[in-house]
Amino acid sequence: MQSPSLPRREALASYACAFVFIIAMVAVAAALGDREIVLPEIAAMAVALWAYREQSWMRRPEAIFLWPSITAVMGFGTNLLALPFAAKLAIVLITMLSFFALFRYSLAPALATGFLPIVTNATEASFLISIGVTTFVLMLGVAAVRLRKPADRSAPLNPRAMLAYGTITLAWMGLAWAAGYPQLGLIPPVTVVVYESLHMKMYSAKMALKQAAVLTLSATIGVALFLTLDSWVLIAALDLLLMAGLLRLFRMRVPAVYAFPFLAFVFPVEAVRNLPIAAALICTFSLGLVVLYRRWLEPRPSLVAS
């Protein structure tokens, strides 16, 4: 992810605003005793939009609110159906990709908010309210501070990349189901990274390895803190600071890294300890297939031109 180079003071202020917003979300959840208010992908969006100033996520500012809210409703409604876990994931995957195709616009974090209510078994209205409120605030922040640069609102979809994403995601779901671990069929932050990696202009095996490393480490750090400390607010603050340090160490900007530690707040208790291992496995499989696709199956400009 690329973003404008900001003066040091402005960059620090941007990160501070994003971090305070995320910690406030966790504080509200802790005060109300409702884990469904904690939304991992909102942490990634806050940093990407307010600190990184990621322009590709701002092409249509209103979609910052609408797309995650709509996919969250899709996932929430599907989760209430009496269907096997893997079937719910597959239905939401197809529904979200169809939604992107219908409106000819995709927003990667909306994939995570669609899958989240299924993988966390969200059943309370507070989940949808939290999605609506937080994404609306993020949208207002982008508009109020004029973070979006003048640019074309259109973002042509890449049908081949979307098909590859659906195939890779379904393949891992199938493997997890066949192995008897359907709950490990999808991790929302990873699915966002996979989708974006398929759409990057340049991608390599080295990039995939670095992504897998930071995502696995972020999961490990998040789980360790969650199982060690009691204060949700303190855990959230330490998570954010450590994620910032981790990405600085690797010289990367991967918003999904900020989402990973917060999965420990919302995942079923029995699954939390397995998050680091699951992250490593899913990243290795999915990002490995992305590398193969980009190297061998993606159309080459020279071939297209001829």
pLDDT tens, position by position, 233-273:
999 999 999 999 999 999 999 999 999 999 999 998 888 99
When pLDDT is cut at 50, 70 and 90, the band that residue 303 belongs to is: very low
Name every residue whose Cβ is closer than 8 Å to that of residue 215 and which is 6 or more positions away in sequence: 189, 190, 193, 254, 256, 257, 260, 279, 283
Radius of gyration of the chain (CA): 18
In a domain, 76, yes or no: yes
Structural domain tally of the chain?
Answer: 1
In a domain, 99, yes or no: yes
In a domain, 3, yes or no: no
Counted residue by residue, the chain has a size of: 306
What number is the average pLDDT over the span 136-160? Answer: 80
When pLDDT is cut at 50, 70 and 90, the band that residue 184 belongs to is: confident
Pick from 152, 145, 70, 76: nearest CA to 103: 70
How far apart CA 203 and CA 257 sit, in angstroms, is 18
CB atoms inside a 10 Å sphere around CB 12: 12
Give the CA distances from residue 47 to residues 8, 144, 174, 183, 232, in Å, rounded to whole numbers and listed in that order.
16, 16, 32, 28, 19
Q: For residue 272, what are the domain limits?
A: 8-305
pLDDT tens, position by position, 95-133:
999 999 999 999 999 999 999 999 999 999 999 999 999
In a domain, 2, yes or no: no
